[in-house]
Structure 1
Amino acid sequence: MVISGLESMYRYEYMDKIGSGSYGNVYKALDKQTGEIVAMKHEIRGLLSKSSFREINILQSLPRHPSMVEFKDVIMDGRRDQVYIVMEYLETDLKRYINLKEKSLGVSEVKSLMKQLLEGVKFLHENGVMHRDLKPSNLLMNGDQLKICDFGLSREFGSKSGSYTPGVGTRWYRAPELLIHGANKYYSSAIDMWSVGCIMAELVLKEVLFKGGSEIDQLSKIHRILGSPNHDVASSSSSSRLNLLRQMILGDTSCRRAPGLLTELGFDLLSKLLAYDPNERITAEDALRHGWFVEFDSYSCSEFDSILDYYRLVLYRL
């Protein structure tokens, strides 16, 4: 692990506070040496806490990837028992982006964001890393570009399910195997794929799919939409689960403003991401090969500035 000394702090000039949490604060800053705008995560949990150590180790060990936030430096202030992680700066996150959208996201936009997310998750899993806290606020954005950030709960894993810290991740995006057995230490990278499914549904609905107030309530919300985790529903090809998802999403008032946003192939992918059985849950690699990403989009005129733009696209596709 390579760590810079306190003298490196003088190359950065604080501009604005752009985020905060239990971990500390995030600031927008100017790198006076390069003129680049960066993000500085100020850890306040103490010098190299377990979470900080993991995040720094993972950020330094992973090669660059278009769907991953770029790590730049880590600075340690031993006298004040503080750590600063310097990363590339991105304008917003997916949570804010969804909330600020007045209309539903377009088909092509949902596909683009999902593709970038899946490419990032595939990259992590291929490098033996589980993120364990995928959610819209941990997906940063610049324009239409999406990048995964916040690796404080991430950890390396083997090829099979292993024994890890139970109950990790934000409740609304937590896989059922982490909820059914509160102290379950045995799980796999499939927990990330469940979170991806929740994010996909949120892109369509513009609201959280499973918004439980407690772990028990969270399970209840999942069962209400997907049915009970019996043999029928647990199968990744279960028509029961697919029909329940279709009924819930198409019946949602938010989604009625975006008819045709999810086709049969779209529901099929969502169903495979939200499979109860983690062994049956689709992988990031297989999800990227799913037919939903290559089928012809059912564009509506509302996605374009004018009817002329719409017909230009139709003629181009022909």
Structure 2
Amino acid sequence: MELCDGNLAKYIQMKGGQLSNEAVKRFLLQMSYGLKYIHDKGYIHRDLKPNILLKLQSGGSLQTAQLEDIVAKIGDLGLITKSPDANIVPSSIGYVDFMAPERRGGSHNYDSRSDIWCLGLIVYECLGGKEHRSTRGRQDKFNIPRQASPELKDLLGNMLAVNPEYRFSVNQVLQHEFFN
């Protein structure tokens, strides 16, 4: 296990509550590749949240680091489960503010796309959105901040689709035009 220098939630606070499209692109790409690895191995994370770990490539601190020196790492694998064996552990496990709609209320009918919802909410928080926290994760409509590029708005809309059948997979996220 690597020693990390901080987490994304604290980094967002240090940057005044929102990140640039460039920073969102960098961190989302790194988190998506990490999630792809987890999903390709047949697992669902089930507890993604903005406490994603940040590691500096070189010495220094997160406050003074250049964006290209920061790497996002997915940690906290304690609630990971083999997919589709979601009924091993109650689906209500995880951080409620980031729980996908299909996982609310004890349903066991979910798959790896529930992680994409969580990742979408992390991106939403990177852009300054926070109102989902006051609803304890029961918000299904989001006001995507104006500073988000049209491509990012489109990607985020597909990551936060309420119906998981219409929600992007991690491969669709990685292939989106936002990363071109």
Q: Give the structure-1-normalised TM-score.
A: 0.49
CA contact (8 A) 1:269 1:290 kept: yes
Gaps in structure 2 of 5+ consecutive residues: 57-69
- In structure 1, the residue matched to 2:163 is 277
Q: Is the 8 A contact 1:162 1:188 kept in 2?
A: yes
Give the Cα separation in 1 of the matches to 2:131 and 2:39: 25
Shift of 1:276: 0.9
The structure with higher relative contact order (CA 8 Å, sep 6+) is 2
Is 1:142 equivalent to 2:55 in the alignment?
yes
Aligned residues: 166
Q: Give the corresponding residue for 2:144.
A: 249
> 1:211 aligns to what SS in structure 2?
helix
Alignment partner, residue 190 of structure 1: 113
* Paired AA for residue 118 in structure 1: S
**Aligned partners of 1:94 and 1:118: how far apart in 2?**
14
Aligned Cα RMSD in Å?
Answer: 1.8
8 A Cα contact 1:131 1:151, kept in partner: yes
Give 3-state SS (helix, strand or coil) of 2:92's partner: coil
Q: Which residue of 2 aligns with 1:111?
A: 25
Contact 2:21–2:149 (CA<8 Å) still a contact in 1? no
Taking structure 2 as the reference length, the TM-score comes to 0.84
Structure 2 residue matching 1:275: 3-state secondary structure = coil
Measure how far apart 1:280 and its partner are. 1.4
Structure with greater strand percent? 1
Shift in Å at residue 212 of structure 1? 3.6
Larger Rg: 1
Gaps of 5+ in 1: 1-86, 227-244, 251-258, 295-318
3-state SS of the aligned residue for 1:282?
A: coil
2:91 paired residue number = 166
Give the distance between the partners of 1:168 and 1:191, measured in 2 at CA: 12
Q: Name the CA distance, whole Å, in 2 between partners of 1:200 and 1:271.
A: 11
Residue of structure 2 in register with 1:40 after alignment? none
User: What is the SS of the residue equivalent to 1:149?
Assistant: coil
Aligned-residue offset at 1:183 = 2.1
Retained in 2: the 8 A contact 1:163–1:187?
no
